[in-house]
Amino acid sequence: MRSVSLREVEVVASLVLAALLSTCGGSNGSSSPSSSSPSGNNVQTVVVNGGPTGNYTNGVFTNVTLCVPGSSSCQTVNNVLVDTGSFGLRILASALTLSLPQQNDASGNPVVECAQFVLSTMWGPVRTADVKLGGEVAGSIPIEIVGDPGFSTVPAGCSNHGPPQQTQAALGTNGILGIGLFINDCGGACSVAGAGNPGFYYACAGSGCQIIAQPTSNQVKNPVAAFSGDNNGTLLQLPTVSASTSSVSGSLIFGIGTQSNNTLGSAKVFTVNGAGNLTATFHSNSYPSFLDSGSNAYFFLSSSASGIPACSTQASGFYCPSSPVNVSATNRGANGTNNAVNFTIDNAATLFANSGENVLPSLGGPNAGSFDWGLPFFFGRNVFTAIETRNTPVGTGPYWAY
């Protein structure tokens, strides 16, 4: 078991290093973010606020610079949502003035994507760009341009998976920066023809759009995985938020254990199953569990299972306890790492009532089938997302660490 031995050596080395750093820096060894702002070519500033529409709840946003591949013809798009629950960069056509080259299929027809999110779809052409974040560059990668007027007709086969959300008013962002565990947005399922193809990629000729087999190399992909360095994952670092507020800032740091500002320290590593999930246990029942900075709240359990009253129509889809409720659930990785997560849920109708506050650390809602650790989970934690197949000081991705 040579690889295991090597990994153990690496773990020990990492722990020793962490202990040394802890001693030198006077750190208390926790994995919560430090108070000073990190700096370096691998650091991208992020902000949690109401976003471009001013009323987005618990969204973490950043700027993304796009360039025509190999050129200095560039544009910076602001208010792009940082999402550890998806893979690939999607920009609203309405936020883009730069003309980027279209990706075509083998027959020369433009490739258009139906990106399937759990609550909605995004339809638009696949174009190629150099993507710049901090001092890092993902050279000539496929991205999706959402809501392009040149491809305004969404096929029924796409919208049947969920309503298309194509505008800033509907989405509350200018785009989505998907930096989750995987490299490609669909993966192998979309690279084959036939009934098993879930229908992310279409080729559009004059007669209409047809689902195609799209090789993974041509799929919209996680920009971090395409950097020349610091490309094994990310660290999202947000401060503790003890009460509702209007704005907080933090850092998205590229790479895991590649520079002094992205060491794992005392963070625990949780490997995932094939679907990219951990397991969360609450009162002896287990659920698929995941860390999703693109989710607006803690979404977990049914109202009957959690014992927390659901809101009436005023804040339907969220929890409305009469007073704050403390909840504890245990995350478990495929590697057996356990961690009890303690959090507080407050009354969503009350939280929503103050329109100036969009950072709501105690917002939660029902979700009977899984534990969705949304953005409030990230407050006060260093959350590492290790990308599939990439080596890190403690082993190969995919994994979460916090």
Partner 1 sequence: MPGLCVVTAMRTISRAGVFCTLLLAAVAAFPTLGEDVASVGADGVRMNAQVRVVVDQAYSVHQLSSPSGTIVREFVSPGGTVFGLSWQGPFTPDLRQLLGTHFDEYVQASQSDQGHIAHMVHVESGDLVVESAGHMRFSVGRAYLRSKMPSGVTADALR
Polymer length of the chain: 402
What tokens were used for 386? 């290790």
CA-closest candidate to residue 179, choices 214, 145, 227, 108 = 227
Taking the complex as a whole, the smallest distance from the CB of residue 197 to partner 1 amounts, in Å, to: 7
Q: Determine the 3-state secondary structure of 294 from DSSP.
A: coil
Nearest to 133 by CA among 100, 177, 96: 177
Q: Which of 85, 233, 361, 395 binds partner 1 (CB under 8 A)?
A: 85
Query: Considering only 123-131, 145-153, 315-323, 325-333, which stretch makes contact with partner 1 by CB under 8 A?
Result: 315-323
Which residues ranging from 102 to 121 are in contact with partner 1 (CB under 8 A)? 115-120
Binding positions for partner 1, 287-306, rule CB under 8 A: 288, 290, 292, 295-297, 299, 302, 304-305
Specify whether the CB–CB gap between 82 and 293 falls below 8 A: yes
Residue 52 Rama label (left phi>0; alpha psi -120 to 50; beta): alpha
CB of 282 to partner 1, least distance (A): 13
Site string for partner 1, 160-199 (x = CB under 8 A): xxxx------xxx-----x-x-x--xxx-x----xxxxx-
Per-position x/- string for 207-246, each x denoting binding to partner 1 as judged by CB under 8 A, each - no binding: ----------------------------------------
Q: Which of 352, 377, 384, 399 binds partner 1 (CB under 8 A)?
A: 352
Helix (H) or strand (E) run with residue 348 in it: helix 348-353
Give residue 364's Cα distance to chain centre: 18
Shortest distance in whole angstroms from residue 4 CB to partner 1: 28
- Give the nearest distance from C-beta 275 to partner 1 in angstroms: 5
Q: Which of 372, 378, 387, 402 binds partner 1 (CB under 8 A)?
A: 372
Q: What is the smallest separation between the CB atom of 121 and partner 1, expressed in angstroms?
A: 9
CB of 226 to partner 1, least distance (A): 17
Minimal distance, residue 87 CB to partner 1, in Å: 6
Confirm or reject binding of residue 261 to partner 1 (CB under 8 A).
no
Of 315, 284, 300, 283, nearest to 369 (Cα)?
300
Stretch that binds partner 1, among 9-17, 55-63, 257-265, 321-329 (CB under 8 A): 55-63
CA dist 108 and 321 (Å) reads 56
Torsion angle (degrees, nearest 10) of CA 295, 298, 300, 303: -120
User: Is 368 among the residues that bind partner 1 (CB under 8 A)?
Assistant: yes
Q: Of 216, 182, 222, 180, give the one whose Cα is nearest residue 201.
A: 216
Q: Which tokens sit at 101? A: 């080259």
Distance between CA 282 and CA 273 in Å, rounded? Answer: 19
Q: Cα(230)–Cα(253) distance, rounded to whole angstroms?
A: 9
Contact in structure between 219 and 90 (CB atoms under 8 Å): no
Interface ranges with partner 1 (CB under 8 A): 51, 53, 55-59, 85-87, 115-120, 156, 159-163, 170-172, 178, 180, 182, 185-187, 189, 194-198, 275-277, 288, 290, 292, 295-297, 299, 302, 304-305, 310, 314-318, 352, 355, 358, 363, 365-370, 372
